[in-house]
Amino acid sequence: MALQPDHDTATAEGQRPPLEPAAPTEQRNPRTLDIDVRPTLEVLRLLNAEDATVATAVERALPELARAVDWVVEAIRTGGRVHYFGAGTSGRIAVLDAAEVGPTFGLPDGVFVAHQAGGERALRNSIEDVEDDAALGARDAGSVTAADVAIGITASGRTPYVAGALRAARHAGARTVLFSSNPGAPLADLADCHVLTDTGPEAIGGSTRLKAGTAHKMALNGLSTAAMVHLGRTYSNLMVSVDGLNSKLRSRQLSILREASGAPADRCRTELSRCDGNLRLALLCLLSGQEPSVAAEALLAAGGSVRRALVMLPPNGAR
């Protein structure tokens, strides 16, 4: 599938090629035509009214998002990784999600990998031409394997950088996912799953850091969080995989352990110490009454899920 640049260029015969239809995010929004003459509070109300439509757009995408989540869970369980690819706002949102999912759920580095077109410099400064570089996307996807999931994020659904990455990832045998806000996304043909958050025209035409960016942030939050839930990185709705890397997180570990087990603070503190700061192991010991060595074997066999490990352990009475 040939990708055309967004600008109009002449052919060798002097004829101009037909332009691709404008993505919905590039169209004018009839509800905000006079935004530039409204007082401040009215401007904010217009923006807020547009933002209020985002959750509904994400809701419509949930069936396809669920497919992507299941693929991510399968990949991580079998030693694979999750790669995000994006340019501009899309890439920065991907970097944020990949950076935060690790410490939130106690994942080692490198399970979620975000590739921003233009690299680290493009995180702070706009480098507009790199999004048109399909070869750069292919190079950035060079580490993708058949065990991985590759997720391209592009509001317009046509960014060449993302196209190059998805094409290379598909060639490597990886499952491919497209996040876009364009029902007619040209890159949908490169994806096994299209998570479409159709947010329509932006309040400011083409400013996809607004609704489209918010929708992709919500969808990525859902993807990574739901995957971690299925991988046993939570117990109920508690972050039982968080590592105590600083005083705030150690305090959070203790409060989570008290909430989940019902044990008093001194017992929770003692159990955390016995388990070398492993929150899931400490919780399993408190709930099952087992020693850390026995509980650790069950936790390993249960793939890290405290709830599944509890079913596997012989009853021993709570400590």
Report the CATH number at residue 148: 3.40.50.10490
202 is catalytic: no
112 has which bridge partners? 82
Whether residue 11 lies inside any domain: the answer is: no
The whole-angstrom separation of Cα 150 and Cα 172 is 10
Helix (H, G, I), strand (E, B) or coil at 152: strand
Indicate whether 136 and 190 sit together in one domain.
yes
Report pLDDT digits (tens) over 6-53. Answer: 433 333 444 444 456 788 999 999 999 999 999 999 999 999 999 999
| Predicted pLDDT at 21 | 72
Domain-terminating residue out of 173, 203, 230: 230
Q: Is residue 222 part of a domain?
A: yes
pLDDT of res. 9: 36
- Is residue 18 in a domain? no
Both 168 and 258 in one domain: the answer is no
Residue 133 and residue 279 share a domain = no
Q: State the virtual CA torsion across 260, 262, 268, 271 in degrees, nearest 10.
A: -80
* Co-location of 253 and 182 in the same domain: no
Catalytic one among 64, 131, 202, 271? 131
- 89 and 122 in one domain? yes
Contact 199, 211 (CB under 8 A): yes
Residue 193: pLDDT over 80 = yes
Is-contact 150 171, C-beta < 8 A? no
Which phi and psi angles does 263 have, rounded to 5°? Answer: -80, 155
Exposure string of 84-96, with b = 16+ CB inside 10 Å and e = fewer, is bbbbbbbbbbbbb
Q: 283 and 257, same structural domain?
A: yes
Helix (H) / strand (E) containing 139: helix 134-140
Q: What is the extent of the structural domain holding 276?
A: 247-312
Any domain includes 210: yes
Cβ neighbours of 180 (radius 10 Å): 32
> Is the pLDDT score of 184 beyond 60?
yes
pLDDT value for 129: 84
What integer is the mean pLDDT of 270-285? 96
Q: According to the model, what pLDDT value does residue 316 have?
A: 66
Percent of the chain with pLDDT over 90: 87
* Average confidence score pLDDT of the chain: 92
Statement to judge: residues 58 and 134 lie in one domain: yes
Q: pLDDT tens digit string along 54-66?
A: 999 999 999 999 9
Q: What is the pLDDT of residue 12?
A: 41
Shared-domain flag, residues 73 and 222 = yes
Catalytic residue among 20, 26, 74, 100: 100
| Residue 93 sits in the same domain as residue 193 | yes
Q: Does a structural domain hold residue 28?
A: no
Catalytic, 100? Answer: yes
Say if residue 167 is in the same domain as residue 289: no
Report the number of distinct structural domains present in the chain.
Answer: 2
